Amino acid sequence: MGDIGELKKIREEKELKLKEYGINTRPDNFKYTHSLQEAMELEPGTKDVSIAGRVMSKRKMGKISFIDLSDIGGHIQLCMKRDDLGEELYKKIHETLDVGDFIGVTGDIFITASGEKTLQVYKYEFLGKALRPLPEKFHGVTNQETLYRERHLDLIMNNDTKKRFLLRSKVIKLIREFLDNKGFIEVETPVLQNTASGATARPFITHHNTYDTDVFLRISPELTLKKLIIGGFTNIYEIARDFRNEGISVNHLQDFTMIEGYSAYYNYKDNMKLTQELIKYIISNINNNDLKLTIGDVLVDFGNEWPEIGFRELILRDSGIDIDKFETASDLLEEIKRRKIDLETPDLDKLGRGNLIDQLYKKVSRPKMINPVFVTKHPIDLSPLARSNDENPNISDRFQLVVNGQEIINGYSELVDSKEQDKRLREQSELKAKGDEEAMSVDNEYIKAMEYGMPPISGWGLGIDRFLQFLTNSYNIRDVVLYPLLKKRENVEQDDEIV
């Protein structure tokens, strides 16, 4: 590709030449009539079409040149003729235009002899110079980390990446559309919180200078959203950025996007029905009304009945361990070791019984579920914010939707008894003091709010990133996040990775 410094110097000289020609190399706007995708849908013969985009290739054949123009939504071929533009402008274009530059053009739509829809250009404007050359299309970006760190390059060069992130935007739009049509109201709650609560996870801590106190980045908006139900809202949701200071893996991020929904007067069975309708609505709209979706080599059928199976029954079936027979974490851990089940998790002896059961479930059961399954009847110590079942207080009124070995949605009937909630949070706080960093803290503000009275409530959560990873069959969850956090790069110039 050549020395990057030399290539930048050549492009800088071309920009100087543009200025010598009296051309503004950084104009403030361009009025276009169509996006590139819209232009590609126009009938041949459509006149006075103005479009703009990035130059991805150019081919000069004497008095005629062909340019490929691209943006996030599509691309179109341009045909430039010297006789249409004039000899002087035609010459200036080829003296100054590089692949990667932005241009705006106006012209008429026609079909070439080879059958390609093309814009015949009669007006040309320069819109922006790329001083750094793009990667070569054949080799592209060779380092996976560079794709995450410089997603802008990934989007420019890879159509699959464009499609993936357009799908992400479409899925979020469909979620909003579905819930809004069901009468839900979208709300926003604070990211900075005084207490690390709302889920069992290790928090991020930061310092508030004005208040001179440490605060936490929210683990979940759950408790704040339930306060809004106390305040009179009936059906609400939030698309929230959450932060959990835990390990990173191909399936986990420390900052991620979650949608949580809460409904007064619902129970978890109502939300099982609601979320089933939601998922089917999304799949149908992104898959041409087909509820069968191929994920990698696996065909997942969302159209059949979604069975329900109890947590204890599931683990007993897959591991031979009856979790009801082990009342303490130490006894359960001893049985797991006796059966030689490797949970591949460090510091198992520091986990409370609930989190230990969860690790066992994730190891022996979850990977085996392909078509949609509702897992229910979770142990109560795995669900400190969930309502106890009326018939069996040792289990919670909770569900998880699992598809193709991944948890898609988690939901439950909410605990609305302030005294019981206070008791459970204090038990969680004791576990945290003993070394379980994922245990929850006591949130006295939430307990006080509960004492003003709560209706029956059910809530659910859907991890947007995990769901997109599932839908796109991406190996790494960072493939569906535009700019995932990476370690700070010591040397910004790493062009040996971009060829």
Q: How far apart are CA 202 and CA 213, in angstroms?
A: 19
Predicted local distance difference test score (pLDDT) of residue 30: 97
Of 74-78, 197-201, 472-476, highest mean pLDDT? 74-78
> What is the tens place of the pLDDT at every residue in 264-278?
999 999 999 999 999
Please list the residue range(s) of the chain that carry CATH number 3.30.930.10. 159-306+371-480
CA distance 82 to 422: 79
pLDDT of res. 499: 47
Of 54-63, 74-83, 177-186, 440-449, which gets the smallest average pLDDT? 440-449
Q: In this predicted structure, which of 120-134, 212-226, 397-411, 419-433 has the lowest mean pLDDT?
A: 419-433
Do the beta carbons of residue 388 and residue 396 sit within 8 Å? yes
Q: Find the mean pLDDT for residues 337-342.
A: 92
Residue type, 212: D
**pLDDT tens per residue across span 375-412:** 999 988 888 888 999 999 999 999 999 999 989 999 99
Q: Average pLDDT, whole number, for the chain?
A: 92
pLDDT at residue 304 is higher than 80: yes
d(CA 254, CA 247): 7
CATH architecture entry for 159-306+371-480:
2-Layer Sandwich (3.30)
140: confidence class by pLDDT, cuts 50, 70, 90: low
Question: For residue 2, what pLDDT is reported?
Answer: 56
pLDDT higher than threshold 60 for residue 139: no
Cα 302 to its chain centre, rounded Å, is 21
Look at residue 141 in the predicted model and tell me its pLDDT.
Answer: 65
Instruction: Quote the pTM value.
Output: 0.89
Name the more confident of 441 and 260. 260
Residues of the chain with CATH 2.40.50.140: 4-128
3-state DSSP assignment of residue 401: strand
Position 203 pLDDT exceeds 50: yes
In CATH terms, the fold of domain 4-128 is OB fold (Dihydrolipoamide Acetyltransferase, E2P) (2.40.50)
